[in-house]
Structure 1
Amino acid sequence: MPARRELGLHALPDLSGDLDWGQDPRLVDLVTSPEEYLRSFQPAGERKRGDGSTLYSLVPEAPRRIYKANPDAKLIFVLEAPVSRAFHAHAHNVELGVETQTSFDIALEIEPERIKAGASPFLCYATGSQYRQMIEPVDILFGQDNVLILIAEDAEREPRMTVRRIAKFLGVSPYDDLLPFVPRERQSIVSEMLARLRSRRKHPEISAQFRSAMVSEIQWMERRTGSSLDAWLKRDQE
């Protein structure tokens, strides 16, 4: 994997020309040409290469461009409960200073307007939690055998098993001596911020509608993964 987290080349054509690139540090780091993109992987030599750009899951046309560039690519999604994901994304954006609307409920309410205006895809909280809309096109393009879905809580709880699953999926040897995941320092900051944001909600009915809409996403994920996600349902209804 390149040192740069968000390469984002395959999402680039869909980003608005009016977008304030300097507003979001994740956008500043995007590559702007195929040549620059390929140079990012040079240190890997002949080893398998991976692009970890989360931006691709937020831009609907990105999978088609990935397929055109490499139809044999394998895709891995690490997903958390959809309502929690949206809350965390909003809190993180507030922390970064790229989200000026500190009310999560109002941010949800104005999201459609933001999308039409060409705002950063990272401000798409509801859209980014619509997993069926995100994954079904990828399944069709690449085939389900080439799409691995990991549940974030499982990955954190059982990191070695997760690494073995990924290694098997990619056809590489697992690294059994992997150290346990170390929680990122910002997670505690996000937790504190979430508590503050929730206490300031001005339109709780928006959150209620959002929670209700996300139930169908969880049910679809259960069918897609063949796993029970009762923990997601419980967490997202709290």
Structure 2
Amino acid sequence: MKPSTRLRQTLSPLRPILRRGERMVPGYLVVGTKRGGSTSLADWIAGHPEVSPCLSEKGTHYFDVNWTKGEAWFRSAYPKQAPGKRITGEASPYYMFHPEAPARIARTLPEVLLITCLRDPVARAWSHHAYEVAKGRETLGFEEALDAEPDRLAGEEGRLRSDPGYQSPHWRYHAYQRRGHYAAQILELQRHVGAERVLVVQSERLFADPKGQLAKVWDFLGLSPFVPDDLQPQNANRPYGSMPPHLITRLQTYYRPHNALLSTIEGVDVSWPEHEPN
């Protein structure tokens, strides 16, 4: 959803007028989803000539795993104002899923714009599992991991909410099904920052028509039209093989109510056909 003209007019006087040499305040965050195309989208945004990206190549992960390092540490990771640069930001696909991240973002960056990139949740879960196996963080097969997920995640959300320093490998790396609860995550982001500050991009459309989808992103961020030189997606060519048909059916059935709820959220336009993921 694009911020309204009234919103932009209201925000403009509140934004600090930075002089050259002063450190920029993040104006956007790509908040997820994991294995949903957010890496490619973040790289393309960072390549816009009016964007001055975070000094840390991988982002700060401040609002999820590095919250206890403090706001001064977070702000030090951003560049100083330079001619022609209008906005800075970063990406973390865990921001969308960490239960405390939306509230932390809203408190720290009350004017920030959030972008999500959503992929067919069935394909996303399959890709996510293959990624964790490749990283050495998963030893279970896909079906075993799906079966183990409820026990792995039990109590983890409460621990993350009650202890700012708590780290949960299961919640971060093994929530193959739960990460696909997009509607709940989008509504939580909107609740904290406002629906007009959240843009939802569909991953499949982004890669099928990157120029058209990026035009919406530039408009949302208030940037000039721009076409990156290299529009090749990152992390898109990993061989995942074919998911067993019974697991496709299982996950499609599981996600139907979540996808149905997502389709009712104003400003969200995504849809996925029920077919075997590539």
Measured against the shorter chain, the TM-score band is 0.7 to 0.9
Q: 1:182 aligns with which of 232, 237, 240?
A: 232
Aligned residue number for residue 49 of structure 1:
88
User: 1 CA distance for matches of 2:185 and 2:276?
Assistant: 19
> Which residue number in structure 1 is paired with residue 150 of structure 2?
112
Q: Unaligned regions of 5+ residues in structure 2, if any?
A: 1-52, 157-167
The secondary structure found in structure 1 opposite 2:111 is coil
Tell me how far 1:87 sits from its aligned partner: 0.8
- d(CA) in 2 for partners of 1:100 and 1:228? 33
Structure 2 residue corresponding to 1:171, chosen from 212, 222, 229: 222
Partner in structure 2 of residue 7 of structure 1: 60
Q: TM-score normalised to the size of structure 1? A: 0.77
For 2:268 and 2:186, how far apart are their aligned partners in 1?
15
Output the CA distance in 2 between the equivalents of 1:112 and 1:142: 29
What residue is the counterpart of 1:36 in the other structure? 73
Flag the 1:217–1:130 CA change in 2: closer, same or farther, 3 A: same
Q: 1:47 to 1:125 in 2, by over 3 A?
A: same
2:275 corresponds to: 235
1:34-81 per-position Cα deviation (integer Å, ceiling 9, x unaligned):
333222212565631212011111211110000010121111000101
What's the secondary structure of 1:187's corresponding residue?
Answer: coil
TM-score norm. by structure 2 comes to 0.66
Check the 8 A contact 2:63/2:101 in 1, yes or no.
Answer: yes
Residues 215 and 44 of structure 1, relative CA distance in 2, 3 Å threshold: farther
**Residue deviations 1:5-50, cap 9 Å, x none?**
2422111379xxxxxxxxxxxxxxxx94433322221256563121
The offset of 1:94, in angstroms, is 0.9
Matched, 1:76 2:126: no
Pick one of 104, 107, 118 that aligns with 1:65. Answer: 104
The question of whether the paired residues in 2 share the 8 Å contact of 1:6 and 1:55 is answered with no
Matched with 1:98 is 137
Q: Which residue of 2 aligns with 1:24?
A: none
Q: How far, CA to CA, are the matches of 1:96 and 1:44 in structure 2?
A: 37
Distance 2:270 2:88 in 1: 32
Percent of pairs with identical residues: 22
Q: Which residue of the partner structure matches residue 214 of structure 1?
A: 255
Unaligned runs of 5+ residues in structure 1 are 15-30
1:193 maps to 2:234: no
Change (3 A) 1:215 1:6: farther
Q: Deviations over 1:86-126 (max 9, x none)?
A: 1111111111111121x111111111222236334122111
Q: Are the counterparts in 1 of residues 137 and 173 from structure 2 also a CA contact under 8 Å?
A: no
User: 1:106 is matched by which residue type in structure 2?
Assistant: E
- 1:127 CA drift (Å): 1.1
Distance 1:122 1:43 in 2: 34
C-alpha distance 129-226 of structure 1, shift in aligned 2 (>3 A): closer
- After TM superposition, the structure 1 = structure 2 runs for residues 113-152 of structure 1, keeping only pairs within 5 Å, are 113-116=151-154, 118-120=168-170, 121-152=172-203
Q: Structure 2 CA distance, aligned partners of 1:220 and 1:84?
A: 19
CA shift, 1:227, in A, is 3.5
Aligned mates of 2:268, 2:240 — CA distance in 1: 34
Q: Which residue type is aligned with residue 225 of structure 2?
A: P
Residues 82, 236 of structure 1: 8 Å contact kept? no
Q: 2:209 aligns with which of 158, 165, 179?
A: 158
Aligned residue-pair number: 209
Higher helix share: 1
In 1, are the aligned partners of 2:64 and 2:101 still within 8 Å (CA)? yes
| SS, match of residue 139 in structure 2 | coil
